[in-house]
Amino acid sequence: MSDLQRYFIPSENWTDNKVTITGDDVHHIARVMRSHTGEEIICNHPDGYAAVCRITDIEKDTVYTIISKWLEESSESPIDVTIAQGLPKSDKMEFVLQKGAELGAASFIPVQTDRSVTVWDQKKTDKKLKRYSKIIKEASEQSHRNKIPRIQKVMSTTELATDSGNYQIKLFAYEEEAKNEVFQSLGTAISKISRGDRVLLVIGPEGGFSGREADVLKQNEFIPVRLGPRILRTETASLYALASISYHFEELRWT
Amino acid sequence: MSDLQRYFIPSENWTDNKVTITGDDVHHIARVMRSHTGEEIICNHPDGYAAVCRITDIEKDTVYTIISKWLEESSESPIDVTIAQGLPKSDKMEFVLQKGAELGAASFIPVQTDRSVTVWDQKKTDKKLKRYSKIIKEASEQSHRNKIPRIQKVMSTTELATDSGNYQIKLFAYEEEAKNEVFQSLGTAISKISRGDRVLLVIGPEGGFSGREADVLKQNEFIPVRLGPRILRTETASLYALASISYHFEELRWT
């Protein structure tokens, strides 16, 4: 069952017991997977539920299916984690999105930090977000997730900090902390998270946060945390944190 | 210096340049080690740093010390983890080595598995291992490690399995486990690891292990584990495991 190909289908395409597929997924079903009428796929609804759907007809731009079985399963993390990533160099943002989606992130925010070498081109925002969305969608399908993480608009560290009231737990990875005498271990931080909490984790770019940014974050009740004793590259930091949160709440609890 | 007795002291017992010792350690210092005022011990702070401390007073329930020297902290994992990676496609092996070095792996073994699309070219072995070594060295320097992980020669799954007697803990990531109702959680597996143990974790290639390989591994006492509820790409699996081990032993232990 879980070997069936999965597709994330927008809510407007779900009616009664039918799911209609349009867009790029049609090409994937008909040409890449070479599926035929009568075969089954899994359709994921944006709200997190999923169904096995039998293909009833394949047209040029549309695939028609009928729901044959609702699935009771969730591979979603019990913790809602948003990764706010200081814009890194080259294509590292794409790496963070792909791996973050695999590791269970709920949402991403690109952050234009003081030391980001990459400057976000506002004119190319639509094109860039579209590409990012595609990467996140594919990674979510690959890892059998029930929900696709959201990608939010780019903001500055100050905007992020002052607009963070909706999160119960606010953390930032402060490299200086790892060298410092007084800092909070990630174990301490994660142990304070409760199921259902919304967590916001801010990661600096290659050069880390400026002192000004660290101050703004601290003033807005972000807690500096260490992500292990080794210095991680900016694109590895969120992976370490997401894996640790998954391990803590999805694997360790079974012991 | 390293011959001095070490004690792990909770953070609340550290103030300014003084470390106050209470609980069982007092008995150990005064009765077992028969230490006296003026002698030195090493105190480890929960967050990983350590200091040489001179004993200034010994009372019935308390030992008072003053920090005489901060020690350069080690960033090495207390667990010796070898990642045996089924040869993946394209340049993903390089990714596994780079990120694995950052995340604290002790050693790597490339494995020619049944379903590896990539076939190791024996004629290019020297060149390839040289390139891999460079990637590992740079990542180790970047992440301020005290040791550079080793890269071992390529072997088959059977060679790996039958030559695994030196490891106390032998695990393999078996994707089928994630679909199964009965599996060992990574939390259970990691909780069985003791400090100083040598751990061998085998990761399949994109297509996973063949049934034959899974059987060979099981016959040689490798335990199948799940790496979280989502299906991870082959190059992400070792990262998840290494981050979890680091979190468990380097961050969580102090909460």
User: What are the tens digits of pLDDT across the range A49-74?
Assistant: 788 999 999 999 999 999 998 887 77
Q: Say if strands B40-44 and B6-8 run parallel, antiparallel, or are unpaired.
A: parallel
Residue A21 φ then ψ, to 5°: -110, 130
Spatial distance between the Cα atoms of B183 and A169, rounded to a whole number of angstroms:
32
- Could you tell me the fold of the domain covering B80-254? Alpha/beta knot (3.40.1280)
CB contact under 8 Å between B244 and A239, yes or no, is no
CB contact under 8 Å between B246 and A228, yes or no, is yes
Both tokens assigned to B129: 């291992």
CB contact under 8 Å between A230 and B191, yes or no, is no
Report domain A6-71's class. Answer: mainly beta
Spatial distance between the Cα atoms of A227 and A242, rounded to a whole number of angstroms:
11
Q: What is the ipTM of this complex?
A: 0.79
Residue pLDDT tens, chain A, 255 long: 457 888 989 989 998 889 999 999 999 999 999 999 999 999 988 777 788 999 999 999 999 999 998 887 778 888 999 999 999 998 999 999 999 999 999 999 999 999 999 999 989 899 999 999 999 999 999 998 989 999 999 999 999 999 999 999 999 998 665 555 456 789 889 999 998 899 999 999 999 999 999 999 999 999 999 898 888 999 999 999 999 999 999 888 644
CB pairs under 8 A between A and B: 143
CA-closest candidate to residue A132, choices A162, A103, A153: A153
Spatial distance between the Cα atoms of B42 and B46, rounded to a whole number of angstroms:
13
Q: Tell me if residue B187 falls in helix, strand or coil.
A: helix
Both tokens assigned to A46: 């944006």
CB contact under 8 Å between A247 and B239, yes or no, is no
Burial class (CB in 10 A: 0-12, 13-18, 19+), B174: buried
Rounded to the nearest 10 degrees, what angle do helices A92-102 and A234-246 cross at?
10
pLDDT digits (tens, 9 = 90+) for B5-45: 878 788 899 988 999 999 989 998 999 889 999 999 988 87
In order of A27, A39, A52, A71, B126, the CA distances from A42 in angstroms are 16, 11, 4, 9, 46
Spatial distance between the Cα atoms of B134 and B126, rounded to a whole number of angstroms:
12
Spatial distance between the Cα atoms of A187 and A227, rounded to a whole number of angstroms:
9
Residue B75 has its nearest CB partner, among A142, A143, A230, at: A230
Residue A158 φ then ψ, to 5°: -65, -45
Work out the mean pLDDT of chain B and round it to a whole number: 89
Residue A2 has its nearest CB partner, among B179, B187, B252, at: B179
Compute the half-sphere exposure of residue A137: CA atoms within 13 Å on the CB side of its CA.
16
Residue B240 has its nearest CB partner, among A185, A231, A243, at: A243
DSSP assignment letter at A144: T
- Sketch the domain layout of chain A as residue ranges: 6-71, 80-254
Alpha helices in chain A (DSSP H): 24-27, 92-102, 125-142, 157-162, 175-179, 186-191, 211-219, 234-246
Spatial distance between the Cα atoms of A107 and A136, rounded to a whole number of angstroms:
10
Contact residues on chain A for B239, CB-CB shorter than 8 A:
99, 236, 239, 243
Spatial distance between the Cα atoms of B162 and B149, rounded to a whole number of angstroms:
22
Q: Which residue has the tokens 């792996």?
A: B105
Contact residues on chain B for A252, CB-CB shorter than 8 A:
185-187, 190-191, 248
